Amino acid sequence: MKVTISVKGRFHAFFLAHELQKAGILAQLVTSYPVFQAREYGIEKSFVCSLLLNECIERAYRHYFSFLPQRQKMNSFFHTFFDKRVRSKIKQDSDIFVGFSSSCLHTIRSLQSKATKIIVENGSTHAVFQEEILEEEYALHGLCYVSDAMMIEKKCQEYTLADYISVPSRFAENSFLRQGLSAKKIIRVPYGVDTQKFYSLPKFDSQFRIIFCGNVNMRKGIIYLLKAFYELKLPRAELYIIGPVSIEVHMFIKKYQTHNIVLAGSFRENKLVHEYTKGDVFCLPSIEEGLALVLLQAMACGLPVICTTHTGGSDIICDEQEGFVLPIRDVDALKEKIVLLYEDKVLRRDMGQQAQKTILEKFTWAHYGEKMIAAYRAL
């Protein structure tokens, strides 16, 4: 069995490729990233096909011309440009082709006449469900959500043409089932985490600190966390927000801003362990995710987790053991669990230790690789 992976960017594809390489079944990794970045993940140069031109052109556009109209059309163009170049680059002797959603439609079509099994790797929920819930969220706050109809249509065509769709959580799987896809077409394997990069470190102060990490936008439910923290007014407590801030949430940050809400900005992945371990609790109140990698990273660092049912967290967290899994948009539930962990240092410690234990025993990238390879062999 030989497996080819195509990914515009990186996502978790480099971890998957490394596990396939260790098992001797990687045929090729096609990516828009440079070869040296794949090698940093332990992938041998001979397996990597880098379409770096794509990345260079897209980054130049986003840096110099992102102010121009038609941004959605350009987004679709960059995905299609990559996809069409992949068609002529992939090796023809693969038994399985894994293409990351939104950038593999043309490649899938070119492989349909061959015996290759086609898997679309989809890290979030079904595109239609994702658009519906985000439109609903924006409307709740009087904002206009700009839908990307071209991208939704492309993803839906990929879902239809693929033999299988790989998702990381039951929440994501259910979003596909509700759209009428057969359960037999879904491969569900939860992600892992690199425990060489994420681990516990001593905390050097006594201030209670809630960590949030991710894009600070409507999709991540940051508004509900800001509101909960603002209303609690806990003494010697801090909300530490890691990630780039979207324009759409600026008004809410201004509304709830206090001296103990810190916008820390973005950090490279190898620096995140030091940011996570400044905290006592990790909170991610997302409206929609497939399975947020930051949850696994925080757990590997020994933090108890508060998340929503729409993060995919239910697949890795037992409620009241490694943390708490709450309904979306529930500010009162957020406040209740934050106060509980704020007041009970022993509970924080025990949940954090259990979270780290769960990761080490079940959710490393090696665990992910074993499960995914077993699924591929079963095909």
Q: What is the pLDDT of residues 343-360, one digit of tens each?
A: 999 999 999 999 999 999
274: helix, coil or strand? helix
Based on DSSP, count helices (H) and strands (E) in the chain, helices before strands.
15, 13
CA distance 214 to 173: 22
Res. 60: pLDDT tops 80: yes
Q: Which two tokens stand for residue 40?
A: 């940093």
Torsion of CA 80, 82, 83, 84, to 10 degrees: 90
**What residues does each domain of the chain span?**
3-192+365-378, 208-362
Whether 69 has a pLDDT exceeding 70, the answer reads no
pLDDT above 90 covers a percentage of the chain that reads: 88
- For 208-362, CATH gives 3.40.50.2000
**Mean pLDDT on 92-106:** 94
Query: Would you say 8 and 355 are in contact if contact means Cβ atoms under 8 Å apart?
Result: no
Residue 160 pLDDT class (50, 70, 90 cuts): very high
Q: What is the pLDDT of residue 5?
A: 98
Tell me the C-alpha to C-alpha distance, in Å, between residue 355 and each of 200, 295, 308. 11, 10, 16
Whether 71 has a pLDDT exceeding 80, the answer reads no
Band of residue 289 on the pLDDT scale cut at 50, 70, 90: very high
Which of 100, 313, 305 is CA-nearest to residue 210? 305
pLDDT tens digits, residue range 168-185? 999 999 999 999 999 999
Pick the CATH number of 3-192+365-378 from 1.10.150.130, 3.30.465.10, 1.10.760.10, 3.40.50.2000: 3.40.50.2000
With a cut of 80, say whether residue 63 has pLDDT above it.
Answer: no
Amino acid letter at 358? Answer: T
**226-245: per-residue pLDDT in tens?**
999 999 999 999 999 999 99
Whole-number pLDDT of residue 75: 81
- Note whether 209 and 181 are within 8 A (CB): no
In this structure, are residues 297 and 325 in contact, taking their beta carbons and an 8 Å threshold?
A: no
235 φ/ψ sector (left φ>0, alpha ψ -120 to 50, else beta): beta
Whether 117 and 97 have beta carbons less than 8 Å apart is answered as: yes
What crossing angle do the helices spanning 149-161 and 71-87 adopt, rounded to 10°? 30
Range scoring the smallest mean pLDDT among 22-31, 56-65, 190-199, 244-253: 56-65
Long-range contacts of 256-265 (CB under 8 A, 24+ apart): 256/226, 256/227, 256/229, 256/230, 258/230, 261/226, 261/229, 261/230, 262/238, 263/216, 264/240
**Burial label, 99 (beta-carbon count in 10 A; 0-12, 13-18, 19+):** buried
Closest CA to 119 of 35, 212, 6: 6
Kindly indicate the confidence band of residue 3, based on its pLDDT and cuts at 50, 70 and 90: very high
Of 63-67, 233-237, 337-341, 370-374, minimum mean pLDDT range: 63-67
* Banded pLDDT at 70 (limits 50, 70, 90): low
Residue 101 in tokens: 């959603």
116-146: burial string, b at 16+ Cβ within 10 Å, e else: bbbbbbbbbbbbbbbbebbeebbeeeeeeee
Whole-angstrom CA distances from 169 to 122, 195, 284 are 11, 21, 16
More confident residue, 74 or 267: 267
H or E element that contains 119: strand 117-121
CB 253 within 8 A of CB 220: no
Dump the DSSP string for 26-60. Answer: EEEEEESS-HHHHHHTT--GGGEEE-HHHHHHHHH
* pLDDT computed for residue 147 by the predictor: 85
Q: For the chain, what is the mean pLDDT?
A: 95
Question: DSSP assignment, residue 184?
Answer: G
- Write the CA distances from 301 to 35, 184, 225, 335, integer angstroms: 29, 36, 21, 23
Q: What per-residue confidence (pLDDT) applies to 50?
A: 97
> Distance of alpha carbon 347 from its chain centroid, rounded?
28
Q: What are 277's two structure tokens? A: 């371990």
CA-closest candidate to residue 142, choices 239, 228, 242, 255: 255
* Half-sphere exposure for 87 (CA within 13 Å, toward CB): 16
Show the tokens assigned to 138: 């924006």
**pLDDT > 70 in the chain, percent:** 98
User: How far, in Å, are 43, 89, 190 from residue 316 at the CA level?
Assistant: 27, 37, 8
Whether pLDDT at 67 is above 80: no
- pLDDT at residue 292 greater than cutoff 80: yes
pLDDT tier for residue 62 given thresholds of 50, 70 and 90: confident
Rounded mean pLDDT, 129-138:
97
